[in-house]
Amino acid sequence: PSDRADSSDCHASCGAGRAPVAVAAHRNVRLLSTMIPTPVTIRSVKDGATLDLAPKVGHADPDCFEFTLTTPIATLGGLSSTYVVGSPALFFDRLAASWRGWKGELEWKPLDNVIGMTAMCDKLGHVQLLVELKSQVFPPDWEFSYLLYLEAGSLETLARQFRQVFPLHGTRLKA
């Protein structure tokens, strides 16, 4: 048995049921894409746990993205969409702009609620990023939460990486 919960079928907003389309095919060569985006990796300074996010290759919906959370106890992954919430670059730009800290919580949660990120910061520049994952069925039949610990100095680099990988669109951020 595997501890990996992976959603291989994308939900409706990412083009449910669509198989990847071959871009080129030639005698014993199957090429699905020539552009495989490099995921943005958020790494916890506490235990090395990572959250990887990357646009989903092969889907007609440009807002579809895939994610993988790798922790010391589990690895979970799935698909979601930035359609309503906007690019995660907007969220990390906001965190980087507030690198001296902020009051309360800043959230980034796509409409499907399969993944969500909530950032909290103390006055010493320690950032806690709560990653919440849920199954794609309603009501969810499983949920998983994990805290990633970041340094405020890493937020600008993360924001820049997200801007390079995810297009900037949408403006809805919950303060």
* Residue-level pLDDT at 148: 98
The answer to whether 97 touches 117, Cβ cutoff 8 Å, is no
Structure confidence by residue, pLDDT tens digits, 43-68: 999 999 999 999 988 877 888 999 99
Of 122 and 143, more confident: 143
What percentage of the chain reaches a pLDDT higher than 70?
75
Q: What is the SS3 assignment for 24?
A: strand
Q: At what angle do helices 88-97 and 155-165 cross, to 10 degrees?
A: 160
DSSP, residue by residue, 134-157: E-SSSS-S-EEEEEEEEEGGGHHH
State the average pLDDT for the chain. Answer: 80
**124: pLDDT confidence band, cut at 50, 70 and 90?**
confident
Which residue pairs from 105-109 have beta carbons closer than 8 angstroms and sit at least 24 positions apart in sequence? 106/173, 106/174, 106/175, 107/173, 107/174, 108/173, 108/174, 109/85, 109/174
Residues 88, 91, 96, 99, Cα dihedral to 10°: -140
* Residue-level pLDDT at 169: 59
Structure confidence by residue, pLDDT tens digits, 12-51: 444 433 333 333 334 444 444 445 678 999 999 999 999 9
